[in-house]
Every structure is written in C-alpha cells, then in structure tokens.
Amino acid sequence: MSCESFAVNISKLIAQENAKKNKNNINLIIKQSTSITIIISFFLSIFIYFQVKYVNIFDVILF
C-alpha cells in the first residue's frame, strides 16, 4: 500500500460521507486513518532504528 493511494482512498471515503451529510462517519474515518498512519509510522521508525547498522554499510560504500 503506497502512501499516495491511502490518501486518495481516505479522501474518497470522506467525500462520500460528506455527500450523505454523515458527520459522525467523517470523524470516525479521520480518527481511524490517523491512528493507522501513526501506528505504521511508529513500527517503520522502530524497524529503521534497529536496521541502521545495515544502512550505514551502504553509506560507507557509496561515499
């Protein structure tokens, strides 16, 4: 799942709910999408933190 498609899908869902005048679902979609983004970012940050020694090897090779 790319970041670009995630934003497009969230916008589509919000637009659909806005056309239905359903404000409760809009708030729910925003809260859930924000939570998912924070969780994915957290785990990705942890993964990158623990893999930094492997990334550093490539940095030394290139420069």
pLDDT band, very low/low/confident/very high, at 58 (cuts 50, 70, 90):
low
d(CA 36, CA 49): 20
- Residues 6-24 have pLDDT tens digits of 888 999 999 999 999 999 9
Residue 3 has pLDDT above 80, yes or no: no
Backbone φ, ψ for residue 20 (5° rounding): -85, -5
d(CA 19, CA 12): 11
- Residues 26-56 have pLDDT tens digits of 999 999 999 998 999 999 899 888 877 666 6
The structure's pTM equals: 0.68
Please count the CA atoms within 13 angstroms of the CA of 11 that sit on its side-chain side.
Answer: 6
Instruction: Please tell me the predicted confidence (pLDDT) of residue 6.
Output: 82
